[in-house]
Structure 1
Amino acid sequence: MNDEDEDDVKAKDPAIIAMEVADQIAYLRKLKFQYLEQNAKDKYVKSIVSDIDDAPIVTAEENKVLARTNEDKKEKLKIAKGRLNEVQSNIRLLGPMVEQDYQRVKEATDRAALLSQKIIDARTALILLRQTHPKPRLTIPLAEQKLQDQVEEMQMLNDQVQDIKQKAKMEKGRVKTGTVDVENLRLQASEAEKAVKAAQLDEDDSRLVPLYDWYTASLALHRSISNLADSHSVSENELQLTYKIDMPSPSRPHHVVIALIFAPDTRKLAAAQVSGLDELGVEAGDVIDAHVQVDDPHGLIAALLARARAAALA
């Protein structure tokens, strides 16, 4: 808003107008009093300095006329003052109402100006949008059809996600069961090994054949449960195991190679190397470090296979 608009607003403000009127009335009263005082002084001086013969003769009748005139003027002045007081009372009473109406009108005017500017901006943006995106434009029916297609696609993808989650749940159950079976077989193998050492049987003892058959069957069961594809000793203290990871159809199975490195002349796990997990997006460093510290090769293999199978089904 510029200076001229501010002056117009001040000129239309009822409170400011009332103050200016009061100042003007006070000034006029002072001016009138000064005029009457100066006029009386002039007449008094003229009556003193003028000759008695030339001075006008004032009779009692003229004084009565002047008195009646003064009374009439006083009565008129009283009536005028009463009207003025009434007008001032009305101004004081109606001033706040007028001020409220003025503020409402001002707010409505500002709002109308703001809305007008917004309309102009919206039209400008619409023109730019039409220039940026020429015909053919996306209509409401096409947009609704596209929305319907996207909803159907999302529903189909949601169904696929549910199927994958169900398969993953089943696979986790199978892995959990297999892990329990492997642990049981490991305990049974350990007990069988202790029994063999305690018996100290000869190589040609006939009781060794059933034990060998049972151990072979247990090893075959372990291979089938954990999908152990290959196992061989790279050196005296390194064992390399290759596991097959089933992938969702139609992908081919993925192989993960786990190399267990033991400390020389001991059965303590010293280190482990894994290949094939990077393709599945699995980070195995923390798992390897945790199990190497506690010397748990069986737990390490189970944890790595669980992560690999979970990543394959994700």
Structure 2
Amino acid sequence: MSTPQPTDQAAFNLDAAKVLQSKLEGLGLHISNIRDGFNSKPVDGLEDWLGEGLGSKIPSAIAADVASQMSFLRKLKFQYLEQNAKHQYIKTIVNDEAPMITADDNEALMISNQRKKEGLKAAKLKLAEKYQDVRRLAPLVEHDYNRAKELGNEAVALAQSIIDARLAITRLRQAHPQPRLTIPTAEEYLAAQITEMQELEDKLRDASDQVAGVRESVKEGSKEMERLSVERAEIGWDVKARGYGADDRRAASLCEQYSAALTLHRGLVSMGSSQSVAENELRLTYLLEPDGARSRTLEPRKVHVVLLFQPTARQLVEARVEGVDTGDISSIIDAYVEANDVPGVVGAILARCRAVSAI
């Protein structure tokens, strides 16, 4: 059998490759299926591992993935050598003229294999060095990465704080439009307010002292009035007991004396008039003279005190003030009403009215 020409050799090689492909498909090796199965094989910690393009992963997971790939490559290498030997054997027995294999060919193949082994060994050494460098530099890179991550989080927090501060400043500017107080102006305004408050406190202290004095005088006047009322009642009973008539000069003299005393008492407590509106209602009118320089230009202010009693007992039920705004003194009035202290409630009301008129 003659040696085939180059064109015939290419066609022969093509036919041989087709025959080998058909035989490989018939053998059921399924190398591609094995590769797909390896890629889809679940590994602990590597459920989402899809290759190197996904970025940094856990070093232990990468080591496990590399080990599984090396195991797969060893199996693939063994299968490749096995199929290559089968192919060479089939090619030798099918071909009419067996290729001549000489000692030189074996020597050249051995030298080539030796060179490839040395290259493979050098590549493995370099790979081992790379792995060693990775293991050595991994903690440093991790430290720098953690530091960079912390700085990034801090930068994000600071940026958010800056945004919040700007928003707060914007809200303050909207709430307080122009003209705004500067720090020196605000300090001057504060000093002026402090001075004004001190002056008002002094005035309030003086007014409180005046109110206390008036209250004491009113209490004394109330006691004197109560004493005179008792004396008047006793004298009235004495007059009735002695049987003084209307034409008795002594009774007239006593009436004039007590009328003068009553007029003097009214002058002391500034009472203008008293009126019994009903059986259990007494209306007292007082004239409050203004203090100081205002007494020349202002007229006396009328204050009406209305006292309500129980119809069947001498018990005070209610006290009201008319003609002047005394504020909230209901607690003071209620205390005197519960104690049935008529002079006390009248004195307290008048003291309050004088204090309000003095302000």
Q: TM-score, normalised by structure 2?
A: 0.58
TM-fit CA distance, 1:151 = 3.1
- Tell me what 2:12 maps to: none
* 2:197 maps to 1:169: no
- Tell me what 2:129 maps to: 83
Question: Which runs of structure 2 are paired with 1:78-227 in the superposition (5 Å)?
Answer: 79-107=125-153, 109-110=155-156, 114=160, 140=182, 144-145=184-185, 148=188, 151-152=191-192, 154-191=194-231, 193-194=233-234, 197-198=237-238, 200-201=241-242, 202=244, 204=248, 213=257, 215=258, 218-220=261-263, 222-227=265-270
Q: Residue 228 of structure 1 contacts residue 242 of structure 1 at CA under 8 Å; is this kept in 2?
A: yes
Give CA deviations for 1:106-156 in whole Å, capped at 9, x if unaligned. 235535754776798799x59x97xx85xxx6685xx74575256335513
Give CA deviations for 1:210-268 in whole Å, capped at 9, x if unaligned. 7964x456535533443223334557765432113355664654321124456679756
The residue identity in structure 2 corresponding to 1:301 is V
TM-fit CA distance, 1:312 = 3.7
Alpha-carbon separation, structure 2, partners of 1:258 and 1:12: 98
Change (3 A) 1:98 1:237: closer
- Tell me what 1:48 maps to: 89
Q: Residue 241 of structure 1 contacts residue 257 of structure 1 at CA under 8 Å; is this kept in 2?
A: yes
* 2:331 maps to 1:275: no
Q: Residue 282 of structure 1 contacts residue 308 of structure 1 at CA under 8 Å; is this kept in 2?
A: no
TM-fit CA distance, 1:30 = 5.1
TM-fit CA distance, 1:103 = 0.7
Alpha-carbon separation, structure 2, partners of 1:39 and 1:288: 114
Match of 2:79 among 31, 38, 49: 38
Change (3 A) 1:228 1:68: same
Alpha-carbon separation, structure 1, partners of 2:329 and 2:181: 49
Change (3 A) 1:76 1:245: farther
Q: Residue 239 of structure 1 contacts residue 260 of structure 1 at CA under 8 Å; is this kept in 2?
A: yes
- Tell me what 2:3 maps to: none
Q: Residue 14 of structure 1 contacts residue 98 of structure 1 at CA under 8 Å; is this kept in 2?
A: no
Match of 1:301 among 331, 337, 346: 346
TM-fit CA distance, 1:86 = 1.3
The residue identity in structure 2 corresponding to 1:107 is N
Unaligned 5+ residue runs, structure 1? Answer: 1-10
Change (3 A) 1:304 1:289: same
Q: SS at 1:56's partner residue?
A: coil
The residue identity in structure 2 corresponding to 1:38 is Q
The residue identity in structure 1 corresponding to 2:301 is H
Change (3 A) 1:225 1:178: farther
The residue identity in structure 1 corresponding to 2:271 is L
Change (3 A) 1:271 1:63: closer
Q: Percent of pairs identical after alignment? A: 16
Q: Residue 316 of structure 2 contacts residue 340 of structure 2 at CA under 8 Å; is this kept in 1?
A: yes
Match of 2:304 among 245, 257, 265: 257
Q: TM-score, normalised by structure 1?
A: 0.64
Alpha-carbon separation, structure 2, partners of 1:294 and 1:195: 27
Alpha-carbon separation, structure 1, partners of 2:286 and 2:87: 138
- Tell me what 2:10 maps to: none
Alpha-carbon separation, structure 2, partners of 1:212 and 1:55: 172
- Tell me what 1:241 maps to: 284
Q: SS at 1:97's partner residue?
A: helix
Alpha-carbon separation, structure 2, partners of 1:273 and 1:121: 56
- Tell me what 1:6 maps to: none
How many residue pairs were aligned?
292
Alpha-carbon separation, structure 1, partners of 2:208 and 2:313: 39
Cα-Cα RMSD? 4.9
